Amino acid sequence: CEWQEGQPSKQRLLVVANRLPVSAVRKGEDSWQLEISVGGLVSALLGVKEFDARWIGWAGVNVPDSVGQKALTKALAEKRCIPVFLDEEIVHQYYNGYCNNILWPLFHYLGLPQEDRLATTRSFQSQFDAYKKANQMFADVVNEHYEDGDVVWCHDYHLMFLPKCLKEHNSKMKVGWFLHTPFPSSEIHRTLPSLDQKLLRSVLAADLVGFHTYDYARHFVSACTRILGLEGTPEGVEDQGKLTRVAAFPIGIDSDRFIRALELPQVQEHMKELKERFAGRKVMLGVDRLDMIKGIPQKILAFEKFLEENLNWRDKVVLLQIAVPTRTDVPEYQKLTSQVHEIVGRINGRFGTLTAVPIHHLDRSLDFHALCALYAVTDVSSCYILRDGMNLVSYEFVACQASKKGVLILSEFAGAAQSLGAGAILVNPWNITEVAASIGYALNMPADEREKRHHHNFMHVTTHTSQEWAATFVSELNDTIVEAQLRTRQ
């Protein structure tokens, strides 16, 4: 975990996110095993080494006893991580309930099924209360560890109340908030009954509010003007003389880490095995958390349509879908897993031969080296997500394709479409006819076109890195504070 290599001479940064970059597994009364977590936020922030950083968050486990809490706190301290202990009821109401059942689908424009909508409306208030309570618990831990001059960087939709809690305790604290998901149009935001105002106002307590794209930032400002009646300015949102800066900070990846990894003997070995295993076939790849927003069923159905219409490709192409399970105790996610298994089974039954099946689907995460090797041997990366804040998988694929120059098929509803759109084939993931045609186009694309498209994206991915993203956000936050101080003095 490179996170532990903090640099004491640099500015102190407290990163606050719902989950720590590691998950804890209990091995005894006072012993813990820590495993790196999978997810975009972790991938992006692990590469950030310009700060003397500490990470505050939940370790993903209920630890009711003080012996266990003490031992876990000690184990995490070695990784520069500080735990927030949440009990089962809070996790149920705040994390599974308000965050994952309400905010997540809402921010990704996915409505809830009618029966859930009714149940949710009834349980709304208690989930919202738990959300506020959990945010206050995060604030208490930040306050305990905060030192004058620290920058506090709050992340994501789980912690929209945090800026307010922190500023109420210490108005001089430098607080930034960044959203990793899309911020939907204000019309969607208004369907959060009666509580929308509270959430927006809490976020506005931050000094700087950041989004992946200009569109999301614009939606946020228009929600503040339409719902709160505040004034939007070119810099952000103004409320009674206080300006909250709002801007786009597109995230990137630690591209060097991927490029360097490709030279490692174990990665080369993996690549050799994969090439032998899939010799004579083009490789298409999907790497996603198993989540509704990733559109895995739609992706597989589009592949089926492609095979239907192009039987000559039947044993010449393979789709490798690596889907790491998340939120496994939420029924919607369990249903999604069964649905994907069923579709994969049907298509393999329909198009498989005695020696080969068209889809390899794995319900698990891959380690970093295996992932790099897989990206490197892929011919076509299928990132046709239904909706995604950015989508780092598309960046990681591009970083690993320096020699192969494979094709990226990317959803127009991913934030990455704005940065990698010129090099990728953009598709509407809901339109499987269009996606199926794009698969054919990608598989047959001539080398010079592939090279041109790849070059565009590679330049972007290697210059707009996660390090640059974090440095820009923090420096903008520092500048915002200085400007605010100057304004108050005038």
Residues at the interface with ligand ADQ (CB under 6 A): 38-41, 43-44, 180-181, 251, 287-289, 322, 324, 365-366, 371, 388-393, 396
Shortest Å, Cβ 295 to ligand ADQ: 12
In this complex, which beta carbon is closest to ligand ADQ, that of residue 57 or of residue 68? 57
In 3D space, the residue among 341, 282, 327, 323 whose CA is nearest the CA of residue 306 turns out to be: 282
Please report how the helices 196-204 and 162-169 are oriented relative to each other, as an axis angle in degrees rounded to 10: 50
Shortest Å, Cβ 460 to ligand ADQ: 14
- Whether the CB-CB separation of 355 and 277 falls below 8 Å is answered with no
What is the chain's percent helix, strand, coil content, to nearest 5? 50, 20, 30
In this complex, which beta carbon is closest to ligand ADQ, that of residue 370 or of residue 484? 370
In this complex, which beta carbon is closest to ligand ADQ, that of residue 259 or of residue 484? 259
In 3D space, the residue among 217, 209, 120, 205 whose CA is nearest the CA of residue 168 turns out to be: 205
Shortest Å, Cβ 287 to ligand ADQ: 5
In this complex, which beta carbon is closest to ligand ADQ, that of residue 38 or of residue 195? 38
C-alpha 37: how far from chain center: 12
The closest residue (CB) to ligand ADQ is 40
Shortest Å, Cβ 323 to ligand ADQ: 6
In this complex, which beta carbon is closest to ligand ADQ, that of residue 90 or of residue 323? 323
Residues in the chain: 490
Shortest Å, Cβ 325 to ligand ADQ: 9
Backbone angles phi, psi at 440, to 5 degrees: -60, -45
- Map residue 211 onto helix, strand or coil: strand
Shortest Å, Cβ 466 to ligand ADQ: 9
Shortest Å, Cβ 483 to ligand ADQ: 26
- Going by C-beta distance under 8 Å and a sequence separation of 6 or more, which residues neighbour residue 229? none
To 5 degrees, how large is the angle CA 229–CA 418–CA 231? 15
Shortest Å, Cβ 280 to ligand ADQ: 26
Shortest Å, Cβ 322 to ligand ADQ: 4
d(CA 330, CA 315): 37
In this complex, which beta carbon is closest to ligand ADQ, that of residue 179 or of residue 230? 179
Place of tokens 């500490």: 54
In this complex, which beta carbon is closest to ligand ADQ, that of residue 181 or of residue 298? 181
Q: Burial, 115: exposed, middle or buried (Cβ in 10 Å; 0-12, 13-18, 19+)?
A: exposed
DSSP string over 38-71: PSHHHHHHHT--SSEEEEEEE-SS---SHHHHHH
In 3D space, the residue among 416, 392, 407 whose CA is nearest the CA of residue 452 turns out to be: 407
Residue 470's identity, in one-letter code, is A
Positive or negative torsion for Cα 178, 135, 93, 29: positive
d(CA 212, CA 473): 11
In this complex, which beta carbon is closest to ligand ADQ, that of residue 160 or of residue 243? 160
In this complex, which beta carbon is closest to ligand ADQ, that of residue 246 or of residue 445? 246
